Amino acid sequence: MKRSQIRRVRILYLLLVILIGISVLPLWFYGSRMVSRNRDTLETQEKILQSSISQSLAREISLYTENFQQRLKEFFDEVMPLTSHVAGSQYGSDPRLRDTLQQFVSDWPTVLYATVLNVEARGVQAGGYNAGDDAFLRKALESAFMAVRQGALYQSDPITIVRNGKSEPVMIWARSIMVKGQFLGMVAAVVTLAPLLQRLEETKLTGLEAYIVDNSGRLVASNIPAKNVAGKDMVSVPIVQKFLAWRGRARASETTTFDLTEGGETIPMLGTYSPIQKINWGVIVQRKERDAFVAVDEMRRDTILWGLVVIILSLGIAIVSAKFITRPLDSLTQTARSITQRDFTQRADVRSRTEIGELAETFNLMAEDIQHYIGELKEASEENRQLFMDSIEMIAAAVDAKDPYTKGHSGRVSQYSVILARELGLPDEEIDKVRISATLHDVGKIGIEDRVLKKPGVLTNEEFEIMKRHTIMGFEIVRQVKRLTEMLPGIRWHHESLNGKGYPDLLTGDELPLMVRIIAVADTFDAITTDRPYQAGREFHQALDILRKHAGSKYDPIVVDAMDAAYSKGELRKFETRRKTLETVPQART
């Protein structure tokens, strides 16, 4: 019966999967859910924080600019009556106008410079910063002068100046002096945006990057010194684009994620913009996502780290536990496998008080009973085999006894055949078949008449034909025993030759089984080396010379070489008999 070819799954692996599943997977699921939930919570909190800060900044800046614009309006309104009583060319020499400018600058530290100019752009000025020394600011004032000539209220874009060794954003507000529709000059003030910058700087404590852009997408101020360049174009920043998309009509904040490209590197960002009402500016706060969610990333790393630690510990515990559970089963399996391989000496070494221990004890008792039973069967089988072999040898001896000159012939042929079979590397089962066939090869002689079988001289042709019938007689006798069916070829064909000149069936070449070729060489070798009525036995080496001479035509050269090798190894020494010289091959009647 064939063993099942189904691939088995070891219980050890199943237990490992179960133990890991109930220990690691819930923890991993819980950790993943917590990380995801905390990320969502932190993202919400970050959005709320950014929205709150940006809206607060927008309100403060809106109030600041609204208050300042109101103050500027009051200042302009205060200056206008003074200019109407003074000729434009005398603005610079009027003490009341000078005092008013000086008082305004003193009351408002954020005003760096104030001036009243006539139509020739000459007049009076006040303030701690000399605009005339700054070519860029002077050019901006000239642009303001040109703008107000048209009667417009002028507000410049943010301009960066250097004051006290530091960059500082400023703006210019200007108004024309008109009397009865005639342009008489300009009132202007240079206002610093440093308070706004200072407020932006405070947001750095929260780790946020904050900046202000105008309605054209140009930078007003930033809390990052390296980026604090007033007037810098920020239109390429995605969140600035979102703000500008409203075209000055934005009324609410918006928080979004976007990608910022800096130095060829793409950085995921989270940012919020809030509009500054009335002046249409926007306050933007932003942070790198990896910084915004650093706590979640740390939690994720910790979760993964501790998860790996738990997995390793769980694996260790699971392996030890699973092996502890499955070791007895492995022992039982190995013992059962040994028994299936007919090794009944193995026992399951299981010391357990569980049901597995009871199973192992019962299994060992069963194995012991099987071993005892198999032992008895082997003894009986050996006795039967020995009885069988004794019976065969007895039959062979009875046949040899009919002819005193062939006494012991069947036994010697059997031993020679076994030596040849072993030399040729045949398995033990085939060697036994050769032994039995060789022992019974001449059993048919029991039916040959004594006058022919025991004739001391050379047989006549008629007598030789009678003698050849012993092969068929032996075949007919033995084939009645089914157990000896595989031995029949050696009994019927041991006198056949490779060249087809043997008997009884004139077989040739490959038609002769190896068993037949072995027995033929052994039979001839014994016939040559033993005394017969018609010949004297020859030396073993002479017999080998004769066999080699007929190798390939009558005998199998491979079997002849095997006989030669056995003789060289000394395996035939105990069979050597007296040696006599004979020059020709006799007519053998074995």
- Tell which wins on pLDDT, 84 or 472: 472
Confidence of residue 372 (pLDDT cuts 50, 70, 90): confident
Q: Quick one: which of 393, 532, 390, 541 has its CA closest to 458?
A: 532
pLDDT at 534: 65
Confidence of residue 90 (pLDDT cuts 50, 70, 90): low
C-alpha to C-alpha distance for 516 and 492, rounded to whole angstroms: 9
C-alpha to C-alpha distance for 454 and 534, rounded to whole angstroms: 11
| Residue 216: Cβ within 10 Å count | 14
Q: Is the pLDDT of residue 588 over 50?
A: no
- Tell which wins on pLDDT, 24 or 555: 555
Cβ(175)–Cβ(76) under 8 Å? yes
C-alpha to C-alpha distance for 539 and 578, rounded to whole angstroms: 7
Q: Is the pLDDT of residue 514 over 60?
A: yes
- CA 42 to chain centroid: 35
C-alpha to C-alpha distance for 151 and 513, rounded to whole angstroms: 131
Amino acid at 343: D
Q: Is the pLDDT of residue 549 over 90?
A: yes
**DSSP letters along 299-347, please?**
HHHHHHHHHHHHHHHHHHHHHHHHHHHHHHHHHHHHHHHHHHTT-TT--
Cβ(83)–Cβ(116) under 8 Å? yes
Architecture of domain 402-575: Orthogonal Bundle (1.10)
Q: What are 389-421's pLDDT values in tens digits?
A: 677 777 767 776 666 656 788 888 999 999 999
Give the whole-number percent of the chain exceeding pLDDT 90: 22
Provide mean pLDDT across the span 263-271: 89
Give the N- to C-terminal CA distance of the chain in Å, as an integer.
45
For the ranges 70-79, 183-192, 494-503, the lowest mean pLDDT is seen at 70-79
Q: What are 300-335's pLDDT values in tens digits?
A: 777 777 777 777 777 777 677 766 766 676 666 777
Which single residue is written with the structure tokens 């390793």? 312
Confidence of residue 296 (pLDDT cuts 50, 70, 90): low
Q: Is the pLDDT of residue 579 over 50?
A: no
Domain 85-192 class, CATH top level: alpha beta
The pTM of the whole model exceeds 0.85: no
Strand partners of residue 179: 182
Provide mean pLDDT across the span 109-113: 89
Q: Quick one: which of 308, 300, 360, 355 has its CA closest to 334?
A: 360
Provide mean pLDDT across the span 542-569: 93
Cis-peptide, bond into residue 169, ω within 30° of zero? no
**DSSP letters along 470-495, please?**
HHHHHHHHHTTSGGGGGGHHHHHHTT
pLDDT at 584: 40
- Rg over CA atoms, the chain: 61
C-alpha to C-alpha distance for 284 and 254, rounded to whole angstroms: 10
State whether residue 581 is helix, strand or coil.
coil
State whether residue 270 is helix, strand or coil.
strand
Greatest Cα-to-Cα distance within the chain, rounded to the nearest angstrom:
180
State whether residue 469 is helix, strand or coil.
coil
Confidence of residue 10 (pLDDT cuts 50, 70, 90): low
C-alpha to C-alpha distance for 525 and 272, rounded to whole angstroms: 111
- Tell which wins on pLDDT, 8 or 233: 233
Pull the structure tokens for residue 351.
């010391």
State whether residue 391 is helix, strand or coil.
helix
Q: Is the pLDDT of residue 353 over 80?
A: no
pLDDT at 403: 65
Confidence of residue 69 (pLDDT cuts 50, 70, 90): confident
pLDDT at 221: 85
pLDDT at 33: 74
Pull the structure tokens for residue 110.
């954020």
pLDDT at 418: 94
pLDDT at 61: 84
Q: Any idea where the domains of the chain sit in the sequence? A: 85-192, 402-575
Confidence of residue 84 (pLDDT cuts 50, 70, 90): low
Secondary structure, 3-state, 63-97: HHHHHHHHHHHHHHHHHHHHHHCCCHHHHHHCHHH
pLDDT at 590: 47
Which single residue is written with the structure tokens 């400023």? 170
pLDDT at 349: 66
Q: Decide whether 85-192 matches 402-575 in CATH topology.
A: no
State whether residue 359 is helix, strand or coil.
helix
